[in-house]
Structure 1
Amino acid sequence: MKQIAFLMHKSFHGRFRVKEFIPFFKNHGINVELVRVPDNILSRYRNYKRLSDFDIVIVQRRLLSPLDLTLVKSYSKKMLFDFDDSIMYRSSRHKNHHSWSKMKKFKTMMKTVDAVIAGNTYLKNEAAKFIPHEKIYIIPTIVDLKEYSIKNYNETKKDFIIGWIGTSGNLDYLKSITPAFEKLNNKYKNIKLKIVCDRFFDLSNIEVIKKIWRPEDVEKDLKSFDVGVMPIADDLWTRGKCGLKVVQYLAAGVPAVVSPIGLNREIAIPGKTGLWAVDMDDWTDKISELVDYPDKRMKMGIAGRKLVEDKYSLQAQAPRYLAILSKIARWDFDTNQT
């Protein structure tokens, strides 16, 4: 039997880059196991020894220490590295994004693995500094279309909901456009901001709907948005982001207003699936445009859903992923089979 191991640190859930693909792989006769990296070195060593049972070992996102990397490589028939963030740099919370230690570990990882799967072109180009282009493949961060239905545009609503979904570590990006929300509230009397997260903040001039993130509620929460927003800074860290929240907005048929950074530029296509905002006036004007023209919202939402179906869905990318793994492991079967 063909076998894949995803090597994951204990805190990494991997839903959108690992777990969504597992049923598809299993339907093609591939056994998939999630192998965790324990804190204890002896436990790690025992787990690493098991890797020799697999055709491919895919290390998820985290850069391994020199010792761990040597051990994993020694027990792997084929070793891949999959990442969807600028892990070779420090996050936006740091003034200096460059990190000698992170870049050194990244360089060593790239020179050790047999192939790399990157979440976007920016990350591919970072990897290509240390590994040949032909060994790098792009698989975007995806959603399963079965979990997202398109919103009902004919629903009568009293309020216009500006929505944001994400982790609390990214809330500062949302806070950064507070002046735009306040201007919008002065311009319209039915504007509300809905935050789907595990933490929240208040605004003095606009009502904030605080919704705890729960996986079973995500589809309903997204469909309650009239527009989804994704403001981010422009730095070495954010340019590697793979735009998951924008993909989620569009999957539900919700147009997006975004900072045109990284993959956002390809997902939120201006005038087609979303709009770009580069300063505070832009955020006010672009959201106002979608408040004023509901037909435009609907048209963009429908086009956004189609884009996700074609490029950013499990249904579109799973056959590509399987074809990549088949090429690397030299498996011989029809990867176009569904």
Structure 2
Amino acid sequence: MKRAQDLIKNTKLLASVKKNDVLYLHKITDQVDFMVLVLLRKWIGGRGFIVDFDDAIFLPTWNRAVKAWIMVRNADAVVVGSHYLQEYALRHNPRSYVISAPIDTVDLYKPAAKRIVDDRVRIGWTGTPGHYENMKLLLEPLRRLVTNGYRVVFVQLGGGDKINELLSSVQGLQIEYIPQVAWDQPIEVIAIMQQFDIGVMPLQRTEVNRGKDAWKAKEYMGCGVATILSNWGENPYVVTNDVNGILVDSEDDWYESFKKLVEDRAFRKKIGDASRDHMEAEYSYKAFVPKFLSATKLGA
């Protein structure tokens, strides 16, 4: 019954779209019936659409691959969030462009007006329970920090109890766990991020992670936070190592990067300031709009 109701609702929705309007569709392959309606609208009425995705929507199953192939092949343009996704899209549609999602550097993502006074260095992460395997990369480096007497606190913003239990396995690590995250209230979430001294984005070397947009890193960097990232996926396209962030390949790299940023406040500030400047220049709305209009020809 619900599927029939949704089908009727979506049919009416598409019928209300003007003939010359272009549909802009984000991750549409999760909605098969709507996907079919969009394709019929194009095949019968010649009405275009643009597909946008920032995750590997073609993985890991064959049916996801088929749905993604159909939509990418038939789109008038494809906008993706990473170079890996563009490699995939270009195999099926020559009008495929990397246009990383922008952040609001004016009203939301900006350095804190006032910092928390704390003699500990605040290492912060935000995310969902799906990052459990990624967070394992931090355990040994954090253990070494604590063992060697560095005064740090790990701020876990979201992620669930299982990740908190994982981090708690590091004996002696001080943790500030904020389990209830109002993701629909970005100002509250960003206010916590702004108090990070170091932001982290660990990624295991999987194909799914390879396709991810570096969104988490962009959030930290927009707040002027020195960020350490796994050297994987889109991260090396966003960050210039030791200039506006630090890229790491191993547990030793994680530890040495933590150590350097914890010990050297001036270097930490230098990286944070450069990352903020980079976000304003390349990933702000002001930078995004002309790139988007040029690629999609929507401004023509």
TM-score range, shorter chain: 0.7 to 0.9
Whether the 8 Å CA contact 1:267–1:273 is kept in 2: the answer is no
Does 1:62 pair with 2:28? yes
Q: Which moved more, 1:47-56 or 1:189-198?
A: 47-56
- Residue 138 of structure 2: which of 172, 177, 190 is its match? 177
Does 1:238 pair with 2:209? yes
2:172 matched to which residue of 1?
A: 205
Whether the 8 Å CA contact 1:249–1:256 is kept in 2: the answer is yes
Provide the rounded CA distance (Å) in 1 between the counterparts of 2:16 and 2:114: 51
What is the TM-score when the length of structure 2 is the normalising length? 0.86
Cα displacement (A) at 1:175: 3.5
Change (3 A) 1:152 1:297: farther
Change (3 A) 1:151 1:268: farther
Q: Count how many residue pairs are aligned between Structure 1 and Structure 2.
A: 283
Q: Which moved more, 1:232-241 or 1:51-60?
A: 51-60
2:56 matched to which residue of 1?
A: 86
**Percent identical:** 24
Whether the 8 Å CA contact 2:105–2:280 is kept in 1: the answer is yes
1:51 aligned counterpart, secondary structure: coil
2:190 aligned counterpart, secondary structure: helix
- Structure 2: gaps of 5 or more residues: none
1:30 matched to which residue of 2?
A: none
- Give the CA RMSD over aligned residues: 2.4
What aligned pairs does 1:140-159 form with structure 2 within 5 A after superposition? 140-146=100-106, 147-151=108-112, 156-159=117-120
1:279 matched to which residue of 2?
A: 250
Letter in 2 for 1:205: G
Q: Relative to total residues, which structure has the larger helix share, 1 or 2?
A: 2
Provide the rounded CA distance (Å) in 2 between the counterparts of 1:253 and 1:128: 34
State the Cα deviation string for residues 78-108 of structure 1 (Å, max 9, x = none). Answer: 2110000111112xxxxxxxx2222111111
Cα displacement (A) at 1:53: 5.0
1:164 matched to which residue of 2?
A: 125
Whether the 8 Å CA contact 1:268–1:274 is kept in 2: the answer is yes
Whether the 8 Å CA contact 2:211–2:233 is kept in 1: the answer is yes
2:153 aligned counterpart, secondary structure: strand
1:104 matched to which residue of 2?
A: 66
Whether the 8 Å CA contact 1:257–1:268 is kept in 2: the answer is no
1:72 matched to which residue of 2?
A: 38
Whether the 8 Å CA contact 1:84–1:241 is kept in 2: the answer is yes
State the Cα deviation string for residues 6-29 of structure 1 (Å, max 9, x = none). Answer: xxxxxxxxxxxxxxxxxxxxxxxx
Whether the 8 Å CA contact 2:7–2:34 is kept in 1: the answer is no
